[in-house]
Amino acid sequence: MTLVTSIDAHPTKPWIVTGHEGGNFSIWDYQKQETVMKLQVNKVPDKTTLMFHALSQRIKVRPPKHSLFSVKFIAERKWLVVGDGDGYIYVYDYTNTELHMVKKFEAHDKKSVNSLAAHPTEPYLLSSSTIGTNIKVWDRSNKWKIFRNFNTKPEIAYYNGVRSVKLNPRDTNTFACVTRYDGVKVGNIKRPSSLETTLTGSFVMADYLFTRGDEHLMVTLRFDSHNSEIWDLKTQKVVHTLSVSGHKTTWVACHPKLPILVTMLDDGTVCLWDASTYRLEKMVHITDSKCCDLVFVPHTNGPLRLAIAFETMIAIMEVNLPIANTSNASGLITGTN
């Protein structure tokens, strides 16, 4: 397959979807290990256009316009939402395993749509671009019009984009975004003036950590660090550092309802951590390829799984830990083995 750029898991079906630099996406059944649906969204440019793009990378790092950079299921409506390198968002209906375009609209004015986040209970979709400073909230119940538009800062420098947007599992109206130079900002969908810097630093990515009680923690990865850090959002201080000797951490992600934290190392090794104790529970080396994205697969019909997108392959692994059993899925966790 062409370079994998993003991945998402369906909440009830044994499906994962992958977006590709080649301008296409594929929906896979990971139990049957076969393709369910696939579509070439954008036409692949000719060789001359691709050569011109390659030369332009030396001046400014802009993604290929035909590429897909974000994919997200909206299971309630049986929709798949896709963001491309030219600033467009596509909405497809996958009812009866047949794809039908519902909507196409320009979201980020020729800037790549690199991150999407779908609200679990309300008709909102958040989008952002790595070469744009706006986080836009789209209302699908109102003809996909903008509900909110958050500006992280004026567009002074080319690289001041938004690297990712994440909804808070504990309060789904709250979201966090990662900007390269201004750190992690937190906002509220319902409050237009709520966006403010919470963590200061040069971060690659961040995710909300599952916690109990009044703790509000976040795991981050910095540009200039080999390790990931756990932050207390109330005190804005680092409370723990996660590291594996001799290796650089290249990706971090947290399960939204269980105290499980995943870090990826630069040699293709998956590290599974107990987020309650910060103890490294398991390490699994998969491939030497670079990790491009990963997502937890809901375990309503089986064991908890993790889907990992590498550059040219997908890996599905079971998260076979005591803290991942279904009895703990409600969040009533009393301890670990």
- Pairing relation of β-strands 260-265 and 305-310? unpaired
* Neighbouring C-beta atoms of residue 168, cutoff 10 Å: 17
State the pLDDT at residue 255.
94
pLDDT at 65 over 70: yes
Predicted confidence (pLDDT) per residue in 99-126, tens digit: 999 999 999 998 999 999 999 999 999 9
157/45: higher pLDDT = 45
What the block records as the tokens of 27 is 């929906």
If you classify domain 213-320 with CATH, what class do you get?
Answer: mainly beta
The per-residue b/e assignment along 222-244, b for 16 or more CB within 10 angstroms, e otherwise, is beebbebbbbebeeeeeeeebbb
Task: Parse the chain into domains and list their residue ranges.
Answer: 213-320
pLDDT band for 61, please (50, 70, 90 cuts). Answer: low
Predicted confidence (pLDDT) per residue in 234-288, tens digit: 999 999 999 998 899 999 999 999 999 999 999 999 999 999 999 999 999 999 8
What the block records as the tokens of 191 is 């409050």
State the pLDDT at residue 19.
95
Q: DSSP secondary-structure letter at 43?
A: P
In the chain, what percentage of residues exceed pLDDT 70? 88
* Neighbouring C-beta atoms of residue 163, cutoff 10 Å: 18
Q: What is the mean pLDDT of the chain?
A: 87
pLDDT band for 225, please (50, 70, 90 cuts). Answer: confident
pLDDT band for 193, please (50, 70, 90 cuts). Answer: confident
Query: Taking the model in full, what pTM does it have?
Result: 0.89
pLDDT band for 330, please (50, 70, 90 cuts). Answer: very low
Predicted confidence (pLDDT) per residue in 34-56, tens digit: 999 999 998 876 555 555 545 55
pLDDT band for 333, please (50, 70, 90 cuts). Answer: very low
State the pLDDT at residue 161.
85
Q: In what order do the strands lie in the sheet with 228-232?
A: 203-209, 217-222, 228-232, 237-242
**Is 158 within 8 Å of 198 (Cβ atoms)?**
no
State the pLDDT at residue 326.
44
pLDDT at 228 over 50: yes
CA atoms within 13 A on the CB side of 277: 12
- What is the C-alpha to C-alpha distance for residues 317 and 300, in angstroms, rounded to an integer? 16
pLDDT at 156 over 60: no
Average pLDDT over residues 165-173: 94
Least confident residue range of 96-110, 133-147, 305-319, 322-336:
322-336
Q: Which residue has the tokens 């403010």?
A: 196
pLDDT band for 150, please (50, 70, 90 cuts). Answer: very high
Average pLDDT over residues 182-200: 91
State the pLDDT at residue 99.
94
